[in-house]
Chains A and B, each alone.
Chain A
C-alpha cells in the first residue's frame, strides 16, 4: 500500500466515528478498528521491502520553494514505530470500546484518537523535516483534545493545557532547530540530512540546532526538567494514558533522537546533554514513582523514568546503546501499556486507583492480577520477562559509560534507578493485589468483561514470549538498530539472550532486585522520610510562571491599550512622524528640480479663506452647527483648488460629496448634543495642539519637498495618457482610468461603498430593534422645531428642479468618457436631487414614491458592472476588457458606444444606492410613530408654540 494512504487513512477515517455515533457504540468502535487495521495491513504489505533493506519512498511536491514537500520514507525505524502505533492502537480501540461509559461521546473520542494516530504515523514516516514538524504539532493538538476529553473535570482541562503549553513550547523550539539544521545541510529531506554528518557536526550552528531540537524532544518525551506535564496528563481516560503516555506520543521525542542519531550523536555535547538528562530523569522518576499513591501517577512517573533510561542509552552514542534503546522501546511499550490498561481495569471495577485503599485484589480479580503482575515483574527486571533483557543490556552499557570522569557515576546511578524501579514494581503488586481482602472498597471489584482484559493479556503474552525466547525479537531489533545507526557506526555483534554468564551487569541486576525488595520492606519509614523532605511542586511552579506571564502581558496591554482612543491616536501620530523623520534623516535629499510657480491673487484669496475657515473651525468647534458650516467652507475651497489645478472631475466629485456629507452630519446632529463641553485642561489642549503642529509641519515639509522634485522612479501616468484614447476610446483620461484601465480597482471600490451603506442600514435596524427605539420615540428635541415642516417654497422648488437635476445627472453621465463627468459624479448629483425631495417633502412622502429599494439598486449596480466585466470572457478576453466603436445615426453627429459606459452605469447605480441608503437610514431614526403620515406634504402646523419652554412645542420629526 502506498505510504500516502497509510498516513491518510487515519485522517480520513477520523470522519467516520462521528458519523457512526448514532449507529451505536459497537459500530463506532468497529469502524475505528477497521480503519486502523487497514492502515496496519497496508504497513505490513511493505514489510518485505523493509526486510530487504530498501527505503520505501513516496513523494509529492507541496511547497518546493521553501523546501516543504510531502515526502514519506519507510525504513526499519519508521516501520517499527508505525507498527507500534497502529498495533497498540488496535488494542487500545478494543479496550476503549469497553472502557468508555454510556455517558461518554464515543464518536468524539475515536475521532480524536484517529487524528492522533494519523499524526503519529505521519511523524514516523516523514522524510521531510518540515512535514515532520507539521505532524509533530498535530500530535500536540490532538493529545490536548484527548487529555481534556473529560471536559467536565478541571484536572483534565488543566492537564491538557499544561501538556499543550509544554509540548507546544518545545515544538516551537524544535521548529527553529530544524530550520537551522536544514540550512546547514542545504535540504529539508531527512534522507539528505542523514548523509551529511561531518558537514553538520563541524558547523558552528550545530550546537544551537542541537539544543533546540533536543528541547523539542525532551518536552515531548517528558525529560527532566520538563517531565512534570506527564503525570498531570493522567487526568485523561485510561486508554489515552496507555496509548499516548506509555506507548506512542511520549516516544516521539525518543524517535526523533533515534532518527537524528546518525547526524547529531557522537559529539561531546550530545553525550553530555542527553546522557545527563536521561540519567537524572531515570533516577528522579523512579524515586518519585515509589511514593505516589495514585496508581496512574505511579505508572506515569515510572514512564518518565523509563523514558529517561532510553534517552540515556541513546545519549551514549554507541551502537550497542542504540540497540539496547530500541529493544527497551519495544519492551517498555508492551509492559507499560499492559500496566496502564490494568490500572484502568482496577479503576473501572473498584472505582478507585488509590493504592492505599486497595489490596487483596488477587482473589477478586485473578485475571487482572496475573496480567498486571507479569507486566510489573517485567518492569522490575525479573528474568524470563522481556524487561529483564533490555535492563541487562542497559546496565552493561552503563559500565562502559564514563560521565564527568567518574567511572562509578553512571553505573551507580543506573543501579539506584533500577532499585527504585524494582521497588515500585513490587509495591504495585503487593499493595494492590496481595495482602488481606478488604471490605471497604468503593465498589465491589471483580474481573472485567473479556474486551477489557484481552488487550493487556495479548501484550503480556508478548512480554513473556520475548522474555523466554529473545531470539524471536532479534531480527526486528537488529533491523531497527541498523536503520537507527545508519552509516555512523558498526552494527554491534551482541546477541539478545537471557544468560550472558557471570558478568557485572548480572550482579548489578541482582543488587537492584534484592535492594528493591528490601526497600519495600521498609516502605513506611521511607515514606515518612520522603514526606518530611521539602519538595518543589511542579504544578505550583508552572502555575506561578503562567500567572507571571499573564500578569506581565496584562501590564503591557493595559499600559498601552487602556481604552483611550485619544492616546492611541496621539501615539500613532507621533510614531508616524518619528518614522518619517528617521527616513528623512537617514536618506539622501536631492536638489529641487522645479522652481516655485508664481502666486496669483485668486490663489491667495482661496488660501486665506481656507486658512481662516480651518482656524475658525479649530477655535469654534464646540459649537457644532457652526463647525459644520465652517467645514463646508473648507470643502468648498478644496473643490475650488481642484478646479484651479486642472482637476475638473475631482472638483465636481468633491463638491457633490461635500453636500451629501453635510446633510449626513446634519442628520446626525439632530440626535447628538449641539455643543461640545470643555473637558480637557489648558495643558492638555496645548499638548494636543503641539502634536498637531508637529504633524502638520512634517506633512507640510514633505509636501513641499516632493512638489519641487521629480519622482524617484518614472511615473506610469504616461502609459495612461498614451492609451486612454487608443485603448479606451475616451478623451477624459481620469474617467477612462476609472472605468477601463483600472476598472478592477473601481469595481472593488463600488463594492466597498455598497458594503458600507449596508452596514449603516444594518446598524440602523439593530438600533431600531433594540432598547434605543423606545428612547428615540420618547426623545424631546433640545430646541423648538420648525412649525412649517415642509415649506411650500422649498417643496415646489425641489419638485420643479427634480427633472432638471436628473437631466443634468444624465448629461454628466453620458459625457463622462470624453469630458469631465462620469458615473461617480452623476450618481452623486442624482442622489442630491432625490435627497432634496426627502428634505422638502418628508421621508414618508418620498419613500411612498420609491419604486425600487436602495439595496436592490446597489446590487444592480454591482451586478451590471460585474456582468460587463464577465462579458469580455465570451470573446476570449480577460475580465473587464472593454471595447468601443463609433456610430452615426443621421442627423446626429458621430458618437461613441463603449462597453465601459455599461460599467459606468453600474458605478452610477451603486453610488446612488449607497448614498441614498446611508442617508435614508439616518432619517429613519428620526421618524416618530405618533406623527401621522400626512397626505399633504405641504402643511403648516398651526399648533406651533413659540413660547420659551421647548417641551411645550409640538415636536415633529421632519427631514
Chain B
C-alpha cells in the first residue's frame, strides 16, 4: 500500500516536472497543478497512512489518523487554487498583451537590452 502511494507521488512529480519544462504557459500551469497534487499528497502522507480511522473523536475509539497534516493540506489546497488562478491570470494577460504564450524570454532581445546599460 505504501509503495502504491509513494509511486503515485513520484509519478505525479515526474509528470509535473516534465510539463513544467515545456515552453508554453498552459502545459506549465498543468505541470504546476500536478506538482501541487504531489506536494499535497506528500504532506498528507507525512501523517502515515491509516485506513478507517478518521480524525473525528468518538467514544470507544483509540486510534485516530494524524489530524495535523490534514489541516495543513486543507488550507494548502485552497491556497493552491488562489495561486493557480493568479498564475493563469498572469499567463492570460501576457498572451493577450503580446499574442505569445511562451514562458521563456526571447533570447536575443534579453541580451541586447542588457548589453548597453548607458
Contact = CB atoms under 8 A, between A and B. Distances in A.
How extensive is the interface on chain A, given as a class?
35 or more
Contacts of B66: 715, 717
B51 A597 contact: yes
B3 A696 contact: no
Interface string B84-104: 111011111101110001011
A911 interface: yes
B27 A676 contact: yes
Interface string A891-906: 0000000000000000
A703 interface: yes
Given A550-B117, A621-B27, A650-B77, A597 B9 contact: no
B interface majority secondary structure? helix
Contacts of B83: 756
Contacts of A635: 37
A644 B51 contact: yes
Contacts of B30: 617, 621, 627, 631
Given A563-B110, A604-B4, A742 B71 contact: yes
Contact of B82 (A734, A752, A818): A752
A654 B77 contact: yes
A668 B101 CA distance: 12
Given A645-B50, A733-B56, A752-B82, A562 B107 contact: yes
A597 B1 contact: yes
A665 B29 contact: yes
Contact of B67 (A653, A688, A737, A776): A737
A689 B81 CA distance: 26
A672 B65 CA distance: 43
A54 interface: no
Nearest to B8: A610
Interface string B41-68: 1101111111111111110000011111
Contacts of B64: 721, 733
Interface string A684-711: 0000110111011101110110111001
Nearest to A569: B20
A771 to B, nearest CB: 8
Contact of A707 (B37, B48, B57, B74): B48
Interface string A600-613: 10011001001100
B19 to A, nearest CB: 6
A919 to B, nearest CB: 8
Q: Which of B8, B55, B73 has the most CB of A within 10 A?
A: B55
A13 to B, nearest CB: 38
A725 B75 CA distance: 21
Contacts of B25: 672
A187 B35 CA distance: 51
B96 A776 contact: yes
A627 B96 CA distance: 22
B26 A676 contact: yes
A770 B75 CA distance: 35
A664 B84 contact: yes
B68 A715 contact: yes
Given A603-B4, A692-B14, A745-B75, A657 B65 contact: no
Given A621-B27, A733-B56, A767-B97, A749 B21 contact: no
B17 A696 contact: yes
Contacts of A563: 104-107, 110
A642 B65 CA distance: 12
Contacts of A627: 27, 30
A680 interface: yes
B38 to A, nearest CB: 7
Contacts of A820: 54, 56
A724 interface: yes
Interface in A381-411: none
A420 interface: no
Given A664-B88, A700-B6, A558 B111 contact: yes
B76 to A, nearest CB: 9
A745 B79 CA distance: 12
A749 B79 contact: yes
B46 to A, nearest CB: 7
Nearest to A709: B48
B71 A772 contact: no
B68 A704 contact: no
Contacts of A724: 57, 67
A596 interface: yes
A614 interface: yes
A732 B11 CA distance: 32
A923 B86 CA distance: 14
A64 B117 CA distance: 44
Q: Which of B15, B68, B78 has the most CB of A within 10 A?
A: B78
A734 B70 contact: yes
A384 B41 CA distance: 90
B7 A700 contact: yes
B56 A731 contact: yes
A618 interface: yes
B2 A734 contact: no
B55 A706 contact: no
Contact of B52 (A646, A691, A760): A646
Contacts of A631: 30, 33-34
Nearest to A773: B96
Nearest to B66: A717
Contacts of B56: 731-733, 818-820
Nearest to B10: A700
Nearest to A824: B78
A558 B114 contact: yes
A603 B1 contact: yes
Given A597-B1, A756-B86, A562 B70 contact: no
B22 to A, nearest CB: 7
Contact of A749 (B9, B57, B78): B78
A710 to B, nearest CB: 9
Contact of A645 (B49, B104, B117): B49
A772 B15 CA distance: 34
B45 to A, nearest CB: 6
A62 interface: no
Chain A to chain B: the 9 pairs with minimum beta-carbon distance, closest first: A696-B14, A700-B10, A563-B105, A756-B82, A692-B18, A733-B67, A704-B6, A737-B71, A703-B6
18 contacts: A554-B114, A565-B104, A566-B104, A611-B8, A617-B19, A627-B30, A646-B51, A646-B65, A650-B74, A669-B26, A676-B24, A703-B9, A704-B2, A737-B67, A756-B83, A764-B89, A772-B97, A925-B92
Given A646-B55, A688-B22, 7 more contacts: A566-B103, A597-B51, A649-B70, A654-B40, A700-B7, A756-B79, A925-B92
Interface of A: 550, 554, 557-558, 562-567, 569-570, 573, 594, 596-600, 603-604, 607, 610-611, 614-615, 617-618, 621, 624, 627, 631, 634-635, 638, 641-642, 644-650, 653-654, 657, 660-661, 664-665, 668-669, 671-673, 676-677, 679-680, 688-689, 691-693, 695-697, 699-701, 703-704, 706-708, 711, 715-717, 720-721, 724-725, 731-734, 737-738, 742, 745-746, 749, 752-753, 756-757, 759-760, 763-764, 766-767, 770-772, 775-776, 818-820, 824, 828, 911, 914-915, 918, 921-922, 925
